[in-house]
Structure 1
């Protein structure tokens, strides 16, 4: 069992319609070189996960994400400083984030937001950095990718106070049906990770059922949050295919309908080239 826990799950059968992993961390999955990235995305593509957005949480990972997006046409980047790393987020760091985020292969400003679960950064520092990232997303005309952990009320309040960018994505959405309704009414997009496959996530299941097409995405947040029944094992972008199938079952829809919905939403929100074949 110990060895199995360290192994990747099997790559699932290919989805009938290719999708985008809306949020992953290829570097944290173990990718270092261009060959590593290609191998990882090849595995994903075998499952029908044809494109990925690899996300930064600090400056080193931001530099790497931008570089990785240049290695493989199937990889795009998102750049920001994670809320748990905002204790020391000065002018030099902001200037580099802005420079990197302006890149052609960077499709979002993220992940940014608030994390009240960990105490690595004071709440006031997190909130100030969040406001700065909101402004950056608006200035660059790119979507804002939000990390929200045990901070729902403050995240929604700050978005309202600052004025949200044209596109807002709640990465690894963790709210209940009521929060989902608020987000949907505001025009935000909810991105569902492997947590939506967990049997005890009843509030998340209800949230997933009420999202209209056009306002939900699927992500892995790999190497974390591996979908059921492989919870606890390492995750990779191909895991999004498991989540798509589970989401379809939750919503009472065909797999190809959900896959098409998440693909077209990702293409619209991230401004990716449209793909019309599976």
Structure 2
């Protein structure tokens, strides 16, 4: 939704290139993309620093239509479709029909972002309550199973509730926790279940001690990296507008936390993303 502002208003400078990378979760429409030219400009900036592909994510019905068109507009763009849990009230019968149709598109590589959000109810006008979110989450789980595509989960302050729904409904073959922000206990549970954990710029934040401990528990083959742009710009640019080209900053911060070469993390996370999303041809 929103991120803490530091007073920065301009975009971060381009990082040193790091290749190969896949941005496993971004929002190109919220980054200002509209037509094919603006989509191409954003992914060109990303490609210049080693980000070879991006997965742009829907959070409402209009966005679901848009991301699918964006994926058709540029071969480096893929899409995921769903209604964000805070917008679960809008998952009418007609909306389900549209999302299900779009989920079958060959360049839609995941069902998401869906899940549960216990932070915004009561703070955000029109935010769906927990019961409505759970019903929508269960429907998206079923859709992921029926389409055979990964389930991309939004989890905000809802660890126990997310695990409860996944246990009750049965998890799809591939589950991705986008912008994983929980601590070591939740990380161990997800890793043991074989789920994928995607880390964003939050891992670089100074107050993210529990998340850094969790990051150390994620093995190769279960780690993804993302920007969640235009949100969650990594330190030291927190509060500035984020874009897929900023991904190398996050990967280098994570490499420092883990004591590993950034180049190794880039290779590993790209291989995992290509496998999870079925992008075998995108990143030679």
In the superposition, the TM-score normalised over structure 1's length comes to 0.97
Partner residue of 2:77? 75
Partner residue of 1:266? 273
Q: Aligned pair in 2 of structure 1 residues 242, 84: CA closer, same or farther (>3 Å)? A: same
Q: Aligned pair in 2 of structure 1 residues 31, 275: CA closer, same or farther (>3 Å)? A: closer
Match of 2:213 among 206, 209, 212: 206
Match of 2:17 among 14, 17, 20: 14
Quote the offset at 1:240 in angstroms. Answer: 1.1
Residue pair 1:13, 1:46 contacting (<8 A) in 2 also: no
Residue pair 2:52, 2:283 contacting (<8 A) in 1 also: no
Partner residue of 2:49? 47
Quote the offset at 1:276 in angstroms. Answer: 5.9
CA-based RMSD of the aligned residues comes to: 1.4
Partner residue of 1:176? 183
Q: Aligned pair in 2 of structure 1 residues 88, 63: CA closer, same or farther (>3 Å)? A: closer
| Secondary structure of the structure 2 residue equivalent to 1:111 | strand
Q: 5+ unaligned residues in a row in structure 1: which ranges?
A: none
Match of 1:113 among 94, 115, 132: 115
| Secondary structure of the structure 2 residue equivalent to 1:81 | coil
1:135 aligns with 2:142: yes
Quote the offset at 1:230 in angstroms. Answer: 0.1
Give, in whole Å, the separation in 2 of the partners of 1:94 and 1:175. Answer: 30
| Correspondence 1:143-182 to 2 at 5 A | 143-182=150-189
Give, in whole Å, the separation in 1 of the partners of 2:282 and 2:220. Answer: 18
CA deviations on 1:152-207 (whole Å, 9 max, x unpaired) are 10101111111100100000001101110000000000000100010110000011
Give, in whole Å, the separation in 2 of the partners of 1:247 and 1:275. Answer: 24
Partner residue of 2:259? 252
| Secondary structure of the structure 2 residue equivalent to 1:10 | coil
Give, in whole Å, the separation in 2 of the partners of 1:6 and 1:68. Answer: 26
Give, in whole Å, the separation in 2 of the partners of 1:35 and 1:88. Answer: 31
Aligned length in residues: 275
Partner residue of 1:5? 8
Q: 5+ unaligned residues in a row in structure 2: which ranges?
A: 122-126
